[in-house]
């Protein structure tokens, strides 16, 4: 028997789970372009352009907008470690996996974190935000997940920034599953710091976490009494590399930027801007409605009252075996969907319609495949 070398030759799946989403070939081709040095003027131009495109997609003028090296969780951690110091107070909205994680990450920064809770699948109300800010007037920030991928709940942020700012707190938003899939206006909505990921609605491989910091966040970082506890994610050093210093200024090496991932992100953002952000968001809405209508015909209902377009969290129909159905979808149709998490394990499926994958072809395919497998 000959021993063959391991091969990197994965199947082409249709990724319709909670992320990653299917990556277009254009992005994969960009990823395979020649690697440049991280201080090469050509690379720096690509990086600057990527940051400018991120500003457009975030709808922000924030100068400090760049992709953190690492996945979405690195973005969450980057914001937490830079904005919080030991002894600070924070408020975090907890109604799913990612709110739970945000609380944990912020507690690890030495902050006392007060939770605003809602049942999984529900959203947090403006009244709850107001009451928590009243109860904890020293809170430096309020953290909330815009698109809770674990439950499929779409959190409205309307009026939240005003409530926070009236109490001197910053509004911090997790936009990992909403950026480029749902309406999101960082400046107009008064968001002070935000993070996302590349592998959800941007349809880029996982590996970078776009972040953006506004004026209040800059002031909070300038006012720190202690060093940022993470060397790798310390924005006071990172900004000397990522922020264009202008004529005469130099770029200061911190760590080697993930060069090829930057190519991929730049290409993914170019696709978003070519389609048009508003058109892309509308496409996600249309595909969500198409999927919802098809599921309804099959008698399958949604769990959250306010569902995301990008992540559809549905009840597993009575009599269907969770693992068997998902395995058959993968093996027979090459379709990946997500299982339920935490209290929803065994009770929910999560169908992602993100970025490149939010198409009529995929919606009709997953509906047809489900119908067949559920027979």
Ligand X SMILES: *Cc1c(COP(=O)(O)O)cnc(C)c1O
Which stretches of the chain bind ligand X, using CB under 6 A? 19, 71-73, 98, 145, 147, 149, 174, 176-177, 197, 206
Nearer Cβ to ligand X (24/206): 206
Q: Report the nearest approach of ligand X to the CB of residue 232 (Å).
A: 15
Tokens of 282: 């509308």
Nearer Cβ to ligand X (87/342): 342
| CA gap 44, 52 in Å, rounded | 12
Is residue 76 within 8 A of residue 101, CB to CB? The reply is: yes
Nearer Cβ to ligand X (99/190): 99
Residue 355: left (phi > 0), alpha (psi -120 to 50), or beta? left
Nearer Cβ to ligand X (176/353): 176
Q: Report the nearest approach of ligand X to the CB of residue 149 (Å).
A: 3
- Cα-based distances in Å from 154 to 80, 145, 171, 185, 211: 22, 9, 17, 15, 20
Tokens of 318: 């009575």
Q: Report the nearest approach of ligand X to the CB of residue 193 (Å).
A: 14
| CA gap 74, 255 in Å, rounded | 15
Q: Report the nearest approach of ligand X to the CB of residue 270 (Å).
A: 21
Q: Report the nearest approach of ligand X to the CB of residue 137 (Å).
A: 28
Is residue 136 within 8 A of residue 89, CB to CB? The reply is: yes
The residue with its CB nearest to ligand X is: 72
Nearer Cβ to ligand X (145/157): 145
Nearer Cβ to ligand X (44/90): 90
Q: Report the nearest approach of ligand X to the CB of residue 4 (Å).
A: 32
Q: Report the nearest approach of ligand X to the CB of residue 349 (Å).
A: 16
Nearer Cβ to ligand X (349/369): 349
Q: Report the nearest approach of ligand X to the CB of residue 73 (Å).
A: 3
Candidates 363, 353, 364; CA nearest to 182 is 353
Q: Report the nearest approach of ligand X to the CB of residue 148 (Å).
A: 6
Q: Report the nearest approach of ligand X to the CB of residue 47 (Å).
A: 20
E strand map for the chain: 14-15, 64-69, 89-94, 112-117, 139-145, 147-148, 153-154, 170-174, 193-195, 208-213, 311-315, 335-336, 338-339, 348-352
Cβ-defined contacts of 160-168 (< 8 Å, 24+):
160/126, 160/129, 160/189, 160/190, 161/189, 161/190, 161/191, 161/192, 162/190, 163/126, 163/129, 163/130, 163/133, 164/129, 164/133, 164/190, 164/192, 165/190, 165/216, 166/133, 167/133, 167/134, 167/137, 167/139
| CA gap 17, 28 in Å, rounded | 20
Nearer Cβ to ligand X (136/213): 213
Is residue 82 within 8 A of residue 100, CB to CB? The reply is: no
Nearer Cβ to ligand X (69/149): 149
Q: Which residue has the tokens 């911090």?
A: 172
Segments in 183-337 forming alpha helices (H): 215-222, 235-242, 259-275, 277-297, 322-333
Nearer Cβ to ligand X (79/367): 79
Residue 137: count of CB within 10 angstroms of its CB: 10
């Amino acid at each position: 028997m000959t021993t063959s070398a391991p091969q990197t030759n994965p199947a082409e799946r249709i990724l319709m789970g909670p992320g990653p989403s299917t990556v277009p070939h254009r992005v994969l081709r960009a990823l395979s372009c020649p690697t440049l040095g991280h201080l090469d003027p050509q690379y720096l131009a690509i990086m600057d352009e990527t940051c400018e495109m991120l500003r457009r997609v975030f709808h922000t003028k924030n100068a400090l907008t760049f992709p953190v090296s690492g996945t979405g969780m690195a973005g969450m951690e980057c914001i937490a470690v830079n904005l919080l110091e030991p002894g600070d107070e924070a408020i975090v909205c907890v109604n799913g996996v990612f709110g739970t994680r945000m609380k944990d990450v912020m507690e690890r920064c030495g902050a006392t974190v007060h939770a605003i809770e809602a049942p999984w699948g529900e959203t947090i109300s403006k009244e709850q935000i107001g009451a928590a800010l009243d109860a904890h007037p020293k809170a430096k920030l309020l953290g909330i997940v815009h698109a809770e991928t674990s439950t499929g709940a779409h959190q409205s942020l309307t009026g939240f920034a005003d409530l926070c700012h009236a109490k001197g707190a910053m509004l911090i938003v997790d936009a990992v599953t909403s950026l480029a899939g749902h309406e999101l206006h960082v400046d107009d909505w008064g968001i002070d710091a935000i993070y996302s990921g590349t592998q959800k609605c941007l349809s880029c491989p996982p590996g970078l976490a776009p972040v953006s910091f506004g004026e209040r966040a800059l002031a909070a970082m300038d006012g720190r009494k202690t060093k940022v506890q993470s060397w790798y994610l310390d924005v006071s050093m990172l900004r000397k590399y990522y922020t264009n210093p202008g004529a005469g200024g130099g770029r200061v090496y911190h760590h080697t930027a993930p060069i090829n991932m930057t190519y991929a992100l730049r290409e993914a953002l170019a696709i978003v801007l070519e389609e048009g952000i508003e058109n892309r968001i509308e496409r996600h809405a249309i595909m969500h409605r198409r999927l919802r209508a098809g599921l309804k015909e099959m008698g399958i209902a949604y769990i959250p009252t306010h569902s995301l377009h990008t992540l559809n969290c549905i009840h597993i129909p009575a009599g269907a075996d969770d693992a068997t159905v998902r395995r058959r979808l993968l093996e027979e149709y090459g379709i990946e969907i997500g299982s339920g998490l935490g209290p929803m394990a065994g009770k929910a499926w999560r169908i992602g319609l993100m970025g490149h994958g939010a198409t009529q072809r995929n919606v009709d395919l997953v509906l047809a495949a489900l119908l067949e497998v559920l027979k």
